[in-house]
Amino acid sequence: MKKPSSKSLIIIAFIAIYVIWGSTYLLNKISVTELPPLFLAAIRFFVASILIFSIAKALKFSLKITKKQLLNSTLVGFLFLVYGNGVFVWALKYVDSGFGALLASTQPLFVLLLMRLMDHKRMRPKSLIGVGLGIIGMYLLVTQKELVTNEETLLGVFMIFTCVFSWSYGSVFVAKADVPKNSFVSTGYQMAIASIMLACASLSFGETWTPPLLWSPKVQLAMLALITFGSIVAFTAFNYLLKQVSTEKVATSAYVNPIVAMALGWYVLDETLSIQSIIAAVVLLTGVYFITTRKKDGV
């Protein structure tokens, strides 16, 4: 059987992070209505890591990992999954899934600024326009009256921005970090390590753990989808892309994820978006476009 070409794998991987990750906002929102957020994330990544290692073993992938790779995987697992995802899921208790996805679409802005600070790459005028539009879009999002008067929603918004920063730093770091070469195995280690940290955090905060048989059918289905598609398929695709294409190109998932999330939130959960949020989305995503369409000689 002929193996798929590298170009085909890259296209499939982009589809995975565009569409599947766009749906995870809805799936997390459904799950967090019944399950504690850190417990939810711990179970999701623990089960996913067991499945990944089992599949990797069956396919005879090497599971060897050096001390440096283990340390890097621990840091990346924390940035992506413990903080970037675990805290984000917690914040979804206070904001709609579509709105959360819009806030997450600021990732390319954070990636650009981090690359400017860490790699000392110069910014092109187009990127500066993108940064300006991104800031305006963020301002329009967070200054809506219904947010300003709701302290819990404001807290959720603030924490999501810190999660986006954590995810962005992880993206810049892992692109050059020494981690297991096989993206599937690398994903397994990150999830296994993150699940242990999340479980410890969950117990520390006194979250109530409940067995899957006591979950409602809709939460069981949401968790199944999060584990198989959101964790194993999409996150493996994400790790693969970070080693194959530029970090900024991977961050273009910020174009599609909010659209998928808003459509599903509206259709499934009857979530609504204000006119100001829609305007902010247009401004913000236009800024993302300017940031991520670049030449090779700068950012």
**CA gap 36, 237 in Å, rounded:** 27
65 φ/ψ angles, rounded to the nearest 5 degrees: -145, 135
| pLDDT recorded at residue 2 | 46
C-alpha pair distances (Å), 218 with each of 29, 35, 36, 157: 11, 12, 16, 26
| Contact call for residues 28 and 163 (beta carbons, < 8 A) | no
Side chain identity at residue 172, one-letter code = V
**CA gap 50, 53 in Å, rounded:** 5
Show me where the domains of the chain are located: 14-292
Side chain identity at residue 131, one-letter code = V
**CA gap 115, 177 in Å, rounded:** 15
CB neighbourhood size of 172 (10 A): 22
pTM exceeding 0.85: no
Q: Judging by beta carbons within 10 Å of its beta carbon (0-12, 13-18, 19+), is residue 154 exposed, middle or buried?
A: middle
C-alpha pair distances (Å), 70 with each of 28, 174, 178, 193, 296: 28, 13, 9, 9, 32
Provide the residue-wise pLDDT of the chain in tens; the chain has 299 residues. Answer: 445 558 888 889 988 998 898 899 899 999 999 999 999 999 999 999 999 999 999 999 999 999 999 999 999 999 999 999 999 999 988 888 888 888 888 887 888 788 877 777 677 788 788 878 888 888 887 777 766 667 788 899 899 999 999 999 998 898 888 999 898 899 999 999 999 999 999 999 999 999 999 999 999 999 999 999 988 898 889 888 888 888 777 877 877 888 888 888 888 888 877 788 788 888 888 887 787 665 544 45
